[in-house]
Structure 1
Amino acid sequence: MTFVQLEYLVALDTYRHFATAAENCFVTQPTLSMQIQKLEDELGVKLFDRSKQPVVPTEIGEAVIRQARILLREALKTREIVDEHRGIVAGEIRVGIIPTLAPYLLPLFLANFIQKYPHVKVKIKELTTENLLAKLNKDLIDVGIVATPLHDERVFEEPLFYEEFVAYVSEDEAAYQKEFLLSEDIDLSRLWLLEEGHCFRGQILNICELRKQNPANRNFEYESGSIETLKRMVESYGGVTILPELSLTDLSETQLQQVRQFHSPKPIREVSLVTLRHHLRRGPIEAMKSEILAVIPEKMKQPHQRKLVELG
């Protein structure tokens, strides 16, 4: 049994396709297949059911793969120990971030991070929370930046900051005339929402208590994957949408006049770094955490007397 064989084993479990696994391991498919076969022969068990497409691990294969992931992670820790001893922050860090954070948080810290840590290669993917967790648990990403709590025992959450929700209101809405809003001030039949799959959508449903109500039908409905698009819909067609606090930094003076805060306790979301509990690549992750906290206003680093909104 070799580490190379274990790497191929984990890759095949991750991608469930011999050609794709081989491509990501930078070897030919016959090479990967041969090494998997050798490992099975050595162990005396079948690790994958090749009769199914995509291929799936056998029951004993799942147990072996879990152990293989542990062994590979422990091997990687050896390099981290050496780098930490030398005071070096280096290596690759694969980051998943939810779409309602990416366009507002990344520009605040990413350029400084890349300049300050030139030996760190950063790969970033925008992912919904569900997909982010799936990739995290398959070791396809190292860390996620998401809204929490996730109530997932597989991951470790490190809260970064607490971001208020605000309403973005058309001048034609009754809510526009108010300085501070209650959830009942929002006309639910004129509320623009993100499409299914976004945790931000679930939080908005909770803020507006939409799960308990049946909003009146309207003759035009639109669900978007982009907060920026929802802002444009309010500006073009009227109505209301809900924005995260960091998105306000890009608004013009005219647009800021359409922003309304909620009454206290103001609804907030908790934003955290999430990792698997074995804490790989701690050097780059801690460096990223420090750079994020350096650009976040102090008032956002504690929940104070505000209301944390669950993901739904």
Structure 2
Amino acid sequence: MKATISQLEYIIALDTYRHFGKAAGNCFITQPTLSMQINKLEDNLGVKIFDRSRQPVVPTELGSLILEQARRVVNEAKKMEEIIEDQKKEVSGALKIGVIPTIAPYLLPLFAKSFMNKYPSINIQVQELLTEDTLAAIKSEAIDVGIVVGPLNDSSFREIPIYYEKFLGYAHNTNLEPPEEPISGKDLENNELWLLNEGHCFREQVLNICQNRNFDNILNYQSGSLEALKRMVDKQGGVTLLPELATLDLSPNDSKKLRTFKKPTPFREVSLVMKRDFLKRRIIEALQKEIVDHLPDIMKQREENEIQVINWR
């Protein structure tokens, strides 16, 4: 029996996408080539891995066991490559990153260009994903690392906290008066509060800041965009919360709408997250350093006793 690593990657891709065209595209080969190689593997093994009579295509009972083992083999082969790469002085290799929507548009512009210029041998692929989708993609090895909000309190992941950022109120001129007074979670309950839709950890954190999660003034806007919530406050009134990085480029007029919280100030913890056996140590260290180096100075000088991390799980 002979099976190549490439053939194992092809059946894993087909199991992931359950569609020959999408699987072929993900493997950067043509659909006929994918089909031919999977047929060849099945002939060599003397078994059918997939039931092609069903749509979408699904693994056979024996095929599911073969796929489970194929994932182990491919993972171990990748580890061997990563061990070799990690011992080289040059920081290089592929890095697939998942970033949640309330972090991506504010953090990536700070460091991405500099990181790519400094490490041209690293092939970076970035995609926006919700937190649970990011964690699932890490587990399935569709991505290498996530930039998410912690703490996850999940022993299957390795978490590296990289920075802490404040929550700030953003209020229409007629809300949360007087503007110079710090606000509390109770103040949010007394105003119309714009929230992201369910699935966003930022939504859960905002509700946890409020003393009562079931108050009546919640305005659910079906969007993953904090910028959209900000515009709703500008046009319709009410209040929303923004993370600190999202406030850096506000106009002078919009900056006047920001409200700080009473102490202890609520913060969110932003972390790099990966599988515990992830081996690209040099790349992760380079990524962590580049992010921290490009943060505003005020975010590098947090005193531990001033930080109240808001959980979302």
User: TM > 0.5 between the two?
Assistant: yes
Residue 244 of structure 1 aligns with an amino acid whose one-letter code is P
- Within a 5 Å distance, the mapping from 1:26-175 to structure 2 comes to 26-175=28-177
1:145-294 correspondence to structure 2 within 5 Å: 145-211=147-213, 213-216=214-217, 222-294=221-293
Structure 1 residue 116 displacement after superposition = 0.6
Query: Displacement, 1:201?
Result: 0.9
Paired with 1:63 and 1:175, the residues of 2 have a C-alpha distance of: 63
1:169/1:176 contact within 8 Å kept? no
Q: Specify the code of the residue in structure 2 equivalent to 1:122.
A: I
Asked whether the 8 Å contact 1:142–1:280 carries over to 2, the reply is no
Whole-angstrom CA distance in 2 between matches of 1:226 and 1:245? 15
Q: Are the counterparts in 1 of residues 86 and 279 from structure 2 also a CA contact under 8 Å?
A: no
**2-structure distance, mates of 1:292, 1:276:** 20
Bigger shift: residues 268-277 or 37-46: 37-46
1:207–1:267: 8 Å Cα contact kept in structure 2?
yes
Give percent identity, aligned residues only.
49
Q: Number of aligned pairs?
A: 308
SS at match of 2:248: helix
Structure 1 73/304 Cα, relative in aligned 2: closer, same or farther at 3 Å?
farther
TM-score in terms of structure 2 length? 0.88
Equivalent of residue 14 in structure 1, options 13, 16, 19? 16
Mark the CA change 1:58 to 1:209 in structure 2 (over 3 Å): closer, same or farther: farther
Q: Which amino acid letter does the alignment assign opposite residue 88 of structure 1?
A: E
Unaligned runs of 5+ in 2: none
Deviates more, 1:19-28 or 1:244-253: 19-28
- Aligned pair in 2 of structure 1 residues 152, 47: CA closer, same or farther (>3 Å)? farther
Any conservation in 2 of the 1:162–1:303 contact (CA below 8 Å)? Answer: no
Q: Which secondary structure state, in structure 2, belongs to the residue aligned with residue 271 of structure 1? A: strand
Which amino acid in structure 1 is aligned with residue 288 of structure 2? K
Tell me which residue corresponds to 1:307. Answer: 308
Q: Secondary structure at the match of 2:260?
A: strand
1:285 to 1:173, Cα distance in 2 relative to 1, 3 A: same
